[in-house]
Structure 1
Amino acid sequence: MTERLVALGDELVKLHDGFRRQLTALRQGTQGAPELREHCLAFCDALHAHHEGEDSVLFPHLDGEHPELAEVLARLRAEHHVVAGLLARVRALSGAGDGVREELDRLATELEAHLDYEEEQLVPLLNRLTTVPEGL
């Protein structure tokens, strides 16, 4: 159990790096509309599920254990809403193909800033946690 706790922040970075790679592949991809839609939807669903998990499990745990993070967590939650809006737009455009690449570029800009900030603010703390919330 201790090994998992020590690596929780590092695991978050690995997960984020996977999202970064997937988004880069989507933006650089040469696939046709059906494949682009399938990959966009899978990426959007995975990222949305990750953010939902943070909002419903991790952040409430951190709220209770680390009240000094209130402003950081409020910002991260607000950024999740922005990213969710962009994901909805990518989903809507991915079927037609028109405009989806531009929306992926906007998503990349917002998501990179969000992931960088989250890692900067939370990874050191997550790597020091002695308790892990149920369901994480």
Structure 2
Amino acid sequence: MHHLRQNFIYLLFPILLITPGCSGVEDSRGKRVAVSGKVSYKNAPLEKGSIQFFPESGEGFQAFGKIENGAYNIDLEQGPSVGKYVVKITALKKTGKMIETEEGKEEEKKQYLPSKYNQNSELSADIKAGSNSYDFTLE
């Protein structure tokens, strides 16, 4: 029994040494971190959309997430790295018109948020180490 316990400790020790480094994905662009928050538009939760984080410096991880019922959550495996980011939020709505696509006809969808939140975004976030929470109130 003593040998079994001793072997278990020898097996467990290397795992304990490795585990602290497994809290995020890291490469030359840095370490990814989790980010979550709420998004509202005209005083109501944004029902559906997407949120994108683009590093201001051009270096670092880009991150993308879905917005559902006014909330988004990007885990650390998909999250941005530490640094300053331009944030772009998009949301589409159906126009009622049918359009021809490669797959056939489908209902046209158009961006309905002002361009200051996406194409010409004025939104930003300063991502820190650890978990981050950023809420965006769009008018």
Specify the TM-score bucket, using the shorter chain as the normaliser: under 0.3
TM-score normalised over the length of structure 1: 0.27
* Higher-helix-fraction structure: 1
TM-score normalised over the length of structure 2: 0.26
Structure number with higher relative contact order (C-alpha < 8 Å, ≥ 6 residues apart): 1
